[in-house]
Structure 1
Amino acid sequence: MSMAKRFIEMDSSDCLRTKAAKAALDQVLSVLKPSSVIGIGTGATVEIFIQLLKQSGAEFSHCVSSSERSSKALAAAGLAEQPISSCERIDFYVDGIDEGLSSGETIKGGGAALAREKVLATLAMSFITIADSDRLKLSLGAFPLPIEVLPAAELAVTRALQSLGGIPVRREGCITDNGNIILDCAGLDLSEPQLLETALNSIPGVVENGIFSCRKADCMAFSDDDGVHWLASN
């Protein structure tokens, strides 16, 4: 996916998360309709986006959340939400990333909500990511890949990942909203992320992995001290 770059000047005193969240909100508001459905990811930057969305007073249908954490943030902000189980479409999905390429592939799952996040991203007409510029990479793999796994399959999946050159480590104290565990796996070859994404999901016991390559980001906001850099598909 080819990407076009543009730059938005913003107040240098804003924190990086607020800059990225505000840029994403401005993009959403420019085309938002009263019937629009907004998908909400998980994490600190997304929670800033929720607050800014509330403050904007924008009119839209409702939100759909990727996690119990984000559902609590939506409730605290007084924003309408419908459950993911009844979601058929999303106009905009906004979420953070752990790593991302300029071509749109990303790694997600640091907040352990990757399975529901991928459902929402796949349903979305527009997938927008928000992050600081340090998360824009030339290649993926510095961040261990989160993989959601059925608890009963932990040993089997661990062995399968090791056979691929991976070094999986169970995330301590982490049970996902789906009742599963997370294996954070270093050492995998992510040079062909779409092939690896598909291969990992074919391992029995793997619920989902954190490679977002089959469904790439459409627009990516990266903030730094100078402002926000947008990477957007043509």
Structure 2
Amino acid sequence: MSTNEKQLAGEAALRYVEDGAIVGVGTGSTVAYFIDALAGIKDRIQGAVSSSEQSTARMKQHGIEVFDLNAVGPIGIYIDGADECDPHKRLTKGGGAALTREKICAAAAQKFVCIIDSSKRVDVLGRFPLPIEVIPMARSLVSREIVKLGGQPVWRDGVTTDNGNWIIDVHGWRITDPAGLERQLNQLAGVVTVGLFAQRPADVVLVGDKEI
């Protein structure tokens, strides 16, 4: 993991931000560098939409206005990190437990720019456990279904999402059809969303300051 690559990626993402934009902002350590860089041009943008309370707090500290997504409609750009990225720009996200709001922001954006360091690049998704956000009462039900699909579910005990839900991390999968698995898991009763960003992958991936 390269802190320098994270910072370079966060700063490089500024080149995709247009004047007057409302910027969708994700969550995580690489995004924190982007928020700090965004503060330097805050007078050139209208403000931001945030995917987590953590990012909202950091932006407000910088004096960046944060809007509710319902109040702004579609957004031009969404900047976020990832836990894994395959060669087709499909992602695993949710290590920071903000996957549902991140997925909503990505879906609302015309362009999704993913900022990562080189340690997040993989040939096949699945090395990083797949996070799934579930309604609390469905934890055991969903876990049993995951076992049937060959996964090893582990409850992220002590973690509650910003939406009041729980996270199951699934180990042991080699995800060769991310979009298919995303659709399948989203059909399970009690699943809020899945940390696969495959049906709506990234449009641009920055590894450090280089687009791949």
Q: 1:56-83 CA deviation, whole Å, 9 max, x = no partner? A: 3451222000011111011111001112
Contact 2:84 2:92 in 1 (8 A): yes
Q: Which has the larger radius of gyration?
A: 1
Picking from 186, 192, 197, the partner of 1:201 is 186
Q: Which moved more, 1:106-115 or 1:81-90?
A: 81-90
So what's the TM-score if we normalise by structure 2? Answer: 0.95
* 3-state DSSP of counterpart to 1:15: helix
* Whole-Å separation in 2 of the counterparts to 1:165 and 1:57: 47
* Whole-Å separation in 2 of the counterparts to 1:57 and 1:147: 34
Deviation at 1:190, TM superposition (A): 1.1
What number of residue pairs does the alignment pair up?
A: 211
Does 1:158 pair with 2:143?
yes
So what's the TM-score if we normalise by structure 1? Answer: 0.87
Q: What is the letter of the counterpart of residue 203 of structure 1? A: L
Output aligned runs, 1:38-117, within 5 Å: 38-117=23-102
Does 1:170 pair with 2:155?
yes
Q: 1:170-209 CA deviation, whole Å, 9 max, x = no partner? A: 1122100000000000123410000000000000000001
User: Match for residue 21 of structure 1?
Assistant: 10
User: Match for residue 33 of structure 1?
Assistant: 19
* Whole-Å separation in 1 of the counterparts to 2:42 and 2:144: 51
Does 1:146 pair with 2:131?
yes
Deviation at 1:87, TM superposition (A): 4.1
User: Match for residue 211 of structure 2?
Assistant: 230
User: Match for residue 116 of structure 2?
Assistant: 131
Contact 1:37 1:89 in 2 (8 A): no
Deviation at 1:229, TM superposition (A): 2.6
CA 1:185–1:87: 2 relative to 1, 3 Å: farther
Which runs of 5 or more structure 2 residues have no equivalent in the other structure? Answer: none
* 3-state DSSP of counterpart to 2:144: helix
Contact 2:42 2:64 in 1 (8 A): no
User: Match for residue 221 of structure 1?
Assistant: 206
Which runs of 5 or more structure 1 residues have no equivalent in the other structure? Answer: 1-13
Deviation at 1:85, TM superposition (A): 3.9
* 3-state DSSP of counterpart to 2:126: coil
* Whole-Å separation in 2 of the counterparts to 1:138 and 1:166: 19
CA 1:114–1:87: 2 relative to 1, 3 Å: farther
Deviation at 1:108, TM superposition (A): 0.4
* Whole-Å separation in 2 of the counterparts to 1:106 and 1:163: 23
* Whole-Å separation in 2 of the counterparts to 1:108 and 1:20: 17
Q: 1:64-110 CA deviation, whole Å, 9 max, x = no partner? A: 00011111011111001112343411111000100001211000001
Q: Percent identity?
A: 40
